[in-house]
Amino acid sequence: MDFTLNESQIGIQKLAREFAENELAKEILVRDETRVFPLDLYGKMAELGLMGLPYSTEYGGQGADYLSYILALEEISKVDASMGIAYSVCTSLYCASFDNADAPDEMKKKYLTPVASGKALGSFALTEPTAGSDASGCRTVAVKDGDSYVINGSKCFITNGPVSDYFVVFTLTDPELGSKGMAAFIIEKGTPGFTVGERHNTMGIRSAAVSELFFTDCRVPEEQMIAAPGQGFKLAMKNLDGGRIGVAAQALGIAEGAFEIAKNYLKEREQFHKPLYKQEYLAFKMAELDVEIEQAKYLLYKAAMDKASHKPYTLSAGKAKLVCTNIAMKMTTEAVQMLGGNGYMKEYHVERMMRDAKITQIYEGTNEIQKLIISGQLFR
């Protein structure tokens, strides 16, 4: 498999890297402390043409290939994993719903275009208090009433919740059928009966806007149904396959960002009259981490290329998510240790990266779920 990047991909990668280093890095410690999501910087990403990269220009996208998007997400996450996950949810989960559901052109123009263009944000609302790893545990119900559905229930841990304009919401139309009766709707912010709860106070990705959603007799026209009863669970699982590639890119970016900080520190910091990298133990540790990061990168790029070429990618996405998120957690933990007391200080960034890395092993299907997927393929 050829992993050589073409000129367009290199250009997008460079653009995202420069934006992250020159713009996102400026107030990142403040955002981590205050939990403010930078809508202005999100808008700048749109102005640069980084939003909607893999989607058609007809619907506000850039018409680029899927790997270009993954490269941009990786670069953004080297500096700011909170922006990385907001970017990923809009692109890998919300926008992907329209292609995965084969949505009609009119629906795409109305609900895909604003988010793909970066003029609005979107959310993917599947998780509930009773439905985490077991997505079939959904309890939110949509009851048909004339030409509308009335929705009651709640969602939790919804990324972009407080700042999104549009939501893909998964519901049951017949609780007795369970996931076989699952449907999905596009719901707009401000719809009567729909409220956004308080922001979750998270350990990591603290400037990402994450919240609960509540639906109380929320009436939604049938024309806003993106997945018919019985098709919702299939859509959710297909979206999550792509979402796992996005989270893998986020995690790889975190690992690479921490690696660079550790490498520079080992070159600059002196102990026992010589730079730390002259300590063989630390140099060997960095060599091992470098190899593990590169291995993870190849799994990620393979998954992205599988998706782009319309090959089955459930397995490659699961492998990429598992390996990239594990190395993110390992690399950031090792970076804190290698920086010693300084690693524990916020101004050195690696403690934030360690906190950010942990969630990547949990959302879009825990790493235990990824092992179930991989082992299930092995022993079919």
Q: Which of 75, 334, 351, 364 is labelled catalytic?
A: 364
Strand partners, 195: 214
Q: How far is residue 298 from each of residues 186, 246, 291, 303, measured CA to CA in Å? A: 35, 14, 11, 9
Question: What are the backbone angles phi and psi of residue 66, rounded to the nearest 5°?
Answer: -65, -35
| Alpha carbon distance 141, 154 (integer Å) | 9
Question: Which residues are within 8 A (CB) of 176 and not within 5 positions of it... i.e. 6 or more apart?
Answer: none
Neighbours of 55 (CB within 10 A): 26
| Alpha carbon distance 276, 108 (integer Å) | 55
Known catalytic residue: 58? no
Q: Are 350 and 265 in contact (CB under 8 A)?
A: no
Q: List for the chain the helix, strand, coil content (%; round to 5).
A: 60, 15, 25
In the chain, the N- to C-terminal Cα span, in Å, equals 26
| Alpha carbon distance 242, 53 (integer Å) | 14
Which residues are known catalytic residues? Answer: 364
